[in-house]
Amino acid sequence: MAYDIAEPYGPLIESTLRLLTWNVWARFGPWERREKAVLATLERHDPDIVGLVEAWDGQGERLGMPHHVFAGEGEGVAVLSRWPVERHEYRTLAGPEDGTGAVLFAEIAGPRGAVQVFVVALTWRLEHSAVRQAQVREVAAFVADVQRRRGPTVVCGDFNADPDSDEIRLLTGRSAPAVPELVCYDAWETAGTGGPGHTWARTNSWAVPMLWPDRRIDHVFSAWPRRGGAGHPVHCEVVGTEAVDGVLPSDHYGVLADLRY
């Protein structure tokens, strides 16, 4: 088929899926009230797929998503979905003892084909950029090993790194890629609703004690669009910024993205 400069991906898909990623801060603070606030936020935004960091076992049932996978000890990572999870795999990432990273892969049987989701948690300390770069390379190698190139592939979660950091540049084509040919779109950069998109912010009272600057460290990345533009972000917003019954849901804000699907 000849290349069509007007439609390089063929006719664009108009339908979308909604994915939300969120670090929900484990069982810190008034976690039972916070979990109710997380549930209220999810109900408001009605995602198809949710990737949680600092989650805990059993949240899938309480957060009302029919299909769910949790991995890790104590606090871990989870995928919640309105569609069945066909397969999944969990890997820990090399790192210091106080902040070892992890990635959970789930292949979801959506109504218009498989969706592959990788939920990532990288080590958190500011001085650990070199560790995070090594962890991103591990994640990228995992993606390259299992990805299908027909449906959307999404890499999301808490990267503890800003978009201009060396570790994120490995994923977004601003440096030599972590693995050959794996370059992702940053959903906020591509389709954000405006502003800096901070997910760790001094407007969040739970985050204030850390004395960190405002940062955009939670991300939704999607692999290069597939046929019809599948996986291409068309909308992205920060969520969980409002208190529910007087309590903010988490010390992080979440990231919601609508992707062609």
The predicted pLDDT at position 2 comes to 66
Per the structure, the complete domain to which residue 196 belongs is given by 16-260
Whether residue 135 lies inside any domain: the answer is yes
Residue 8 maps to a domain: no
Q: Is residue 52 part of a domain?
A: yes
Residue 109 lies in a domain: yes
Specify if 47 maps to a domain.
yes
The pLDDT-based confidence of 98 (bands split at 50, 70, 90) is low
pLDDT at 96: 82
Output the pTM of the full model.
Answer: 0.96
> Minimal CA–CA distance to 155: which of 21, 26, 47?
21
- Please state, for a pLDDT cut of 70, what percent of the chain lies above it: 98
Our count of domains for the chain comes to: 1
Instruction: Indicate if the pLDDT at residue 13 is higher than 60.
Output: yes
Q: Which CATH number characterizes residue 32's domain?
A: 3.60.10.10
The percentage of the chain sitting over the pLDDT mark of 90, rounded to a whole number, equals 90
Provide the pLDDT confidence category of residue 72 given band limits of 50, 70 and 90. very high
Question: pLDDT by residue (tens digit) across 225-238?
Answer: 999 999 999 999 99
Residue 9 lies in a domain: no
